[in-house]
Amino acid sequence: MPAYLAELYVPRTGSDGVEDAAARARTAADELRRAGTLVRFHRSIFVPVEETCFLLYEAESPESVRRAVGLAGIAFDRIVEAVLS
User: Which pLDDT belongs to residue 55?
Assistant: 98
User: Which pLDDT belongs to residue 66?
Assistant: 97
Q: Please give the model's pTM, rounded to 2 decimal places.
A: 0.93
Average pLDDT over residues 2-9: 96
**Element containing residue 9 per DSSP (H, E):** strand 3-9
pLDDT digits (tens, 9 = 90+) for 9-65: 988 776 778 899 999 999 999 999 999 999 999 999 999 899 999 999 999 999 999
User: Which pLDDT belongs to residue 14?
Assistant: 67
Q: Which fold has domain 3-77?
A: Alpha-Beta Plaits (3.30.70)
What ranges do the domains of the chain cover?
Answer: 3-77
